[in-house]
Amino acid sequence: MIEEIAHRAPGFKPKVAVLLGSGLGSFVEEVKTIAAIPYAELQGFPKPTVRGHEGRLVLGHVGATPVAVLQGRAHYYEFGRTDEMRVPVEAMAELGCETLLQTNAAGSLRLDMPPGSLMVITDHINFTGVNPLFGLGAKRRFVDMVDAYDPALVQRLMAAAKAESIRCHDGIYIWFCGPSFETPAEIRAAVTLGADAVGMSTAPETILARHAGLRVAAVSVLTNYAAGLVPGAIGHDQTITVANASSGQLRLLLRRFLESYG
């Protein structure tokens, strides 16, 4: 599979891998594309089943920075496997990427972060009871998760947001398995635990990326207030609609960050 990628983009060595979440795939329009390969043509890559996840690897440049964009992810809830993104994440490390920059759509646990806001993730909580490194064998299984979301990259994302005059929060992301949304009681518990945003992805990929030796950065687009924070129901339609509507700001932020990546 690495050979297949090398064959499509001979000599290309990406520095940053960018993983695009629900409704956020349009960032690829910022990439001066060298090659675009459907996941279906890459052995071991998942077949995303969620609307808003294209399932393509796009290789190219943002400014002078060579990037590999994973346009769409598979989630634990789709196949019941937490390591669904292991092959793509490890492929990014093998291709020479040093950083995995993730995006996702998430629910807000804070009234001062309304739908449409951006939040740079500073840490995560995984109380799901599962882990993508289950069963991997003894080699480097005890991965350190201190500063898993690289503090220097957090600062650079915040600086990029400021330079683009984008109001950007920072905070802690809690991973829930889904696919049902959380109950209001679960969200109250998550607030008590110290979470600022909730979602169904990202934490497993961060663990896999740290295991593969990649630095990690991540940005959430907050598409709704989490269950029970305000009256009313929550649905995936809103996730897609608000993510699409906010993708312009996210694009500016990621472009600025990547152009100045160095």
| Interacting residues toward ligand HPA by CB under 6 A | 105-107, 176, 181-182, 198-200, 223-224, 226, 234, 239
Looking at the chain, how many residues does it have? 262
Q: Which is nearer to ligand HPA, 23 or 60 (CB)?
A: 23
Q: What is the nearest approach in angstroms of ligand HPA to the Cβ of residue 78?
A: 14
Q: 168-175 and 118-126 as β-strands: parallel, antiparallel, unpaired?
A: parallel
Name the amino acid, one letter, at 85. M
Structure tokens that stand for 8 in this block: 């499509």
Q: What is the nearest approach in angstroms of ligand HPA to the Cβ of residue 113?
A: 12
b vs e for 219-239, b when ≥16 Cβ sit within 10 Å of the residue's Cβ? bbbbbbbbbbbeeeebebebb
Q: Which is nearer to ligand HPA, 92 or 234 (CB)?
A: 234
Report H helices in the chain.
Answer: 2-8, 76-79, 86-95, 151-163, 184-193, 203-211, 236-259
- Output the CA–CA distances (angstroms, integers) from residue 158 to 8, 119, 142, 154, 181, in the order listed: 34, 9, 30, 6, 29
Q: What is the nearest approach in angstroms of ligand HPA to the Cβ of residue 185?
A: 14
Q: What is the nearest approach in angstroms of ligand HPA to the Cβ of residue 64?
A: 33
Q: What is the nearest approach in angstroms of ligand HPA to the Cβ of residue 63?
A: 30
Neighbour count for residue 215 (Cβ, 10 Å):
18
Structure tokens that stand for 19 in this block: 């993983």
Q: What is the nearest approach in angstroms of ligand HPA to the Cβ of residue 157?
A: 20
Q: Which is nearer to ligand HPA, 58 or 226 (CB)?
A: 226
> What is the DSSP track for 76-135?
HHHHT-TTTTHHHHHHHHHHT--EEEEEEEEEE--TTS-TT-EEEEEEEEE-SS--TTTT
Q: Which is nearer to ligand HPA, 102 or 223 (CB)?
A: 223
Q: Which is nearer to ligand HPA, 8 or 188 (CB)?
A: 188
**Residue number of the CB atom closest to ligand HPA:** 107
Q: Which is nearer to ligand HPA, 200 or 218 (CB)?
A: 200
